[in-house]
Structure 1
């Protein structure tokens, strides 16, 4: 990526703030479906060629592939989810930490994506699912998920 060290540190601080504050009171199948539809609506309004998945635990509850997305986006989603699940943080946080510290090079790129777009969904601090977007620059994938989560909380 082309961000400066200061920009990366600021982005990591923002992500950590999001993960401390963007929690749901409860999150089940209906909330997962509503979140997926919200992300899809935002993407369609902006004519974004993305694929979207929302999971409750390991269960796929919502999937949508918009025009311009490909099967490669589904592969990216699977690898972003594995990254978020392994490290219990957003895949963008892992990418930023990688860029800051040069770590995580040992992860098998066929299984894990060091790329933003997967956000853990939390209830009372516990991760209960994930919401993932693929198709844009990774920080924009992440931002689209965060925008939808924020809109459902407001």
Structure 2
């Protein structure tokens, strides 16, 4: 299915591409994962956000927490977003935005089943020295806010020396 190309999505692409290439760590371990996940949850508690947070190193889940008002559906969304990150080596919001910018539906254009993949913002690759070691994700808000919360936490962790 073709939809109308989205000029706002086209305008957002340079920022998302820059985030994708610039957010990387020189090291990131289990303790860093706990601190990152906990920072996201602290912000969610302070702002009363109904979100689920997950983080993985490869296939291993290294952090998971959910706030009141979330359901198992949030976990399913995270799994689908993480598959997009793993397949494209890029944030799920960047992939979503690329398809919207071209006026395409992600699942129809790729042939990937919506039961397994969803290009919606909120999952971001964890990189150490440019190599992807896993992903961090948020589900529960609209896609740009899920993405922004993850980017905020990653940038804060990087500034703190994680």
Same fold (TM over 0.5): yes
Bucket of the pairwise TM-score, normalised by the shorter protein: over 0.9
Please tell me whether the aligned partners of residues 33 and 54 of structure 1 are also in contact (alpha carbons under 8 angstroms).
no
Runs of 4+ in 1 over 6 A off after TM superposition: none
Partner of 1:150: 155
Counterpart Cα distance in 2 of 1:108 and 1:5: 23
| Deviation digits for residues 124-144 of structure 1 (CA, Å, limit 9, x no counterpart) | 111111000000000100100
Bigger drift between 53-62 and 6-15 goes to: 6-15
Q: TM-score, normalised by structure 2?
A: 0.89
Please tell me whether the aligned partners of residues 95 and 116 of structure 1 are also in contact (alpha carbons under 8 angstroms).
yes
Shift of 1:103: 5.4
**3-state SS of paired residue (2:115):** coil
Matches within 5 A, 1:56-67: 56-67=57-68
Partner of 2:81: 80
Bigger drift between 108-117 and 4-13 goes to: 4-13
**3-state SS of paired residue (2:73):** helix
Partner of 2:143: 138
Counterpart Cα distance in 2 of 1:115 and 1:143: 12
1:47 aligns with 2:48: yes
Partner of 1:16: 17
Number of residues of Structure 1 aligned to a counterpart in Structure 2: 151
What's the Cα RMSD here? 1.2
**3-state SS of paired residue (2:76):** helix
The answer for unaligned runs of 5 or more in structure 2 is none
| Deviation digits for residues 27-48 of structure 1 (CA, Å, limit 9, x no counterpart) | 1111111111111111111100
Please tell me whether the aligned partners of residues 43 and 49 of structure 1 are also in contact (alpha carbons under 8 angstroms).
yes
Shift of 1:10: 2.5
Counterpart Cα distance in 2 of 1:130 and 1:87: 12
| Deviation digits for residues 34-65 of structure 1 (CA, Å, limit 9, x no counterpart) | 11111111111110000000111221010001
Larger Rg: 2
Please tell me whether the aligned partners of residues 120 and 131 of structure 1 are also in contact (alpha carbons under 8 angstroms).
yes
Partner of 2:93: 92
The answer for unaligned runs of 5 or more in structure 1 is none
Partner of 1:71: 72
